[in-house]
Amino acid sequence: MRLDVITLFPELFAPFLISGVTRRAYESGLVEVMLWNPRDFAEGNYRRVDDRSFGGGPGMVMMAEPLARCLETIRGDRAEAAGQQAPAVLFSPIGQPLNHSAVTGWSASAGAVLICGRYEGLDQRFIDMYVDQQISLGDFVLSGGEIAAMALLDAVARLQPGVLNDEGSHQLDSFNPALDGLLDCPHYTRPESWRDQTVPDKLLSGNHAHIERWRREQRLALTQRQRPDLVQQARVAGQLSARDEVFLADLIENPEQDA
């Protein structure tokens, strides 16, 4: 897949693309990342890409023309057939929240053009003419879209074949359908005792059925406490067993007990 990133700060991506386990996706070409600076498509000696907002107010607005020229150049470089253009995605507070389902869809796609805004935002005319989708990381505002773009790049890259050491690792991630959309359970490693805290006995039992049931109950308990909406989604989807429901009912009745 190919992801083109429009950003005023392409240098921010350099260390990100060569670090961590996801670098395998970029080095192998499974995920090709192209960085484009709209300043290279601006006019004048100063290559200006922003101007004051009509109607007044604080801050500057990114101009439509440099962005449009940049995007049109990307379209030509991608050599996409008519009707098969990769979507242009803008990271914005008004966008749809990014979730596991969306990341899974992106990971299996041919890619996208990711637009990182800055300042007070983009000229709305560019958005109306070129942007196909807007994505948000949550109900807060960042200085620009670069961090959001990196989050999407990372989430997509780790789902590519061969990127993780264990192909099944991501199947046990929080929100994954393999876990019925629940949060993941706690994890422990050596030593067995650390600063007077010990590993739960069931994890040391060697009884795989008991271990899996403990992990299931931990996932249910953690999700009920932190994200009860996900428990309800699993319930509506018919993913909770009768035993799960008994456990949850007891947990709700006795919230202070250990799972």
CATH topology of domain 2-157: Alpha/beta knot (3.40.1280)
Decide if pLDDT at 146 tops 70.
Answer: yes
pLDDT tens figures, 31-79: 999 999 999 999 989 999 999 999 999 999 999 999 999 999 999 999 9
Please, are residues 26 and 33 in contact by the beta-carbon 8 Å criterion?
A: yes
Mean per-residue pLDDT, 219-231: 96
pTM (predicted TM-score) = 0.89
Query: Cα(78)–Cα(67) distance, rounded to whole angstroms?
Result: 16
Q: Where are the alpha helices (DSSP H) in the chain?
A: 14-17, 23-28, 64-78, 100-107, 124-130, 146-157, 208-226, 228-236, 242-253
Looking at residue 2, its pLDDT comes to 97
Please, are residues 189 and 229 in contact by the beta-carbon 8 Å criterion?
A: no
The CATH superfamily holding the domain 174-253 is tRNA(m1g37)methyltransferase, domain 2 (1.10.1270.20)
CATH 3.40.1280.10 domain span(s) along the chain: 2-157
Q: What confidence tier does 12 reach under pLDDT thresholds 50, 70, 90?
A: very high
69 is written with which tokens?
A: 């020229």
Active site residue 173: yes
Q: State the DSSP H helix or E strand holding residue 197, giving kind and residue range, or none if neither.
A: strand 197-198
Catalytic site residue from 173, 200, 213, 235: 173
Q: What confidence tier does 122 reach under pLDDT thresholds 50, 70, 90?
A: very high
More confident site: 150 or 162? 150
> What is the chain's mean pLDDT, rounded?
93
Give the CB-side neighbour count of residue 41, counting CA atoms within 13 A. Answer: 19
Those residues whose C-beta lies under 8 Å from the C-beta of residue 222, and which sit 6 or more positions away, are 182, 183, 184, 185, 186, 259
Looking at residue 109, its pLDDT comes to 96
Query: Cα(144)–Cα(115) distance, rounded to whole angstroms?
Result: 10
CATH 1.10.1270.20 domain span(s) along the chain: 174-253
Active site residue 158: yes
Catalytic site residue from 120, 184, 213, 227: 120
Catalytic site residue from 93, 200, 227, 235: 93
Please, are residues 64 and 6 in contact by the beta-carbon 8 Å criterion?
A: no
